[in-house]
């Protein structure tokens, strides 16, 4: 869990950071559709599962952008070297879910192998958060039963939680494309719409050019 203390005083967003953290506490969400046509073809060809692959792609996109790796630690703003995806997994027998985390690695095959290990280890554990001790995370959940055009988490106050929160929906075929709704919720103290747009552009590029290697 390597990180560095972030120098707020020399940051060109210093005023924005304090304004949206302390004065006008503000988060915002954005819903869009990601073209996953190449991802679907890729997983069918290799026999992979969709959910861990899309988790990997989101994690790879997030780790390309430092604006989404902020956190508070011991009262100071820090920036993680790497952030890991914490994702919901459904228990069909109880219709409840747990949040699990797979440590991010740039190699897809290695990530999928670790994902399977986590699933096996916590199979049958119905606690909300059975894993402990992983601080450098961001969040992903999926609603595979429904597609949507808009989604918003009703979070009255994110406080000092700066990690992005992704919600995915049921993907749908549109002509020759397969589109997946994706919502992202962020804290305005550490990022703006420009940064979210760059992140989503990175995710789309990764989806268009998916491959086994890093």
65 is catalytic: no
Catalytic residue, chosen from 16, 19, 65, 188, is 188
**In degrees to the nearest 10, what's the CA dihedral of 76, 82, 83, 89?**
-150
Known catalytic residues are 188
């Amino acid at each position: 869990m390597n990180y560095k203390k972030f120098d707020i005083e020399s940051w060109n967003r210093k005023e924005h950071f304090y304004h949206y953290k302390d004065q006008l506490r503000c988060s915002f969400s954005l819903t869009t559709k990601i073209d996953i046509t190449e991802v679907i073809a890729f997983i069918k060809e290799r026999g992979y599962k969709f959910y861990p692959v899309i988790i990997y792609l989101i994690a790879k996109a997030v780790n390309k952008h430092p604006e989404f790796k902020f956190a508070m630690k011991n009262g100071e703003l820090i920036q993680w070297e790497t952030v890991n995806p914490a994702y919901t997994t459904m228990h069909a027998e109880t219709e409840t879910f747990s949040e699990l985390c797979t440590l991010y690695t740039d190699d897809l095959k290695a990530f999928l192998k670790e994902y399977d290990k986590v699933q096996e280890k916590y199979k049958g554990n119905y606690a909300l958060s059975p894993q402990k001790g992983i601080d450098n995370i961001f969040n992903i959940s999926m609603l595979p039963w429904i597609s949507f055009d808009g989604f918003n988490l009703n979070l009255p106050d994110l406080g000092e939680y700066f990690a992005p929160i992704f919600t995915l929906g049921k993907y749908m075929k549109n002509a020759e494309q397969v589109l997946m709704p994706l919502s992202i919720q962020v804290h305005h103290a550490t990022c703006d719409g420009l940064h979210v747009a760059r992140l989503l552009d990175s995710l789309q590029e990764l989806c268009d050019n998916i491959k086994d290697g890093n």
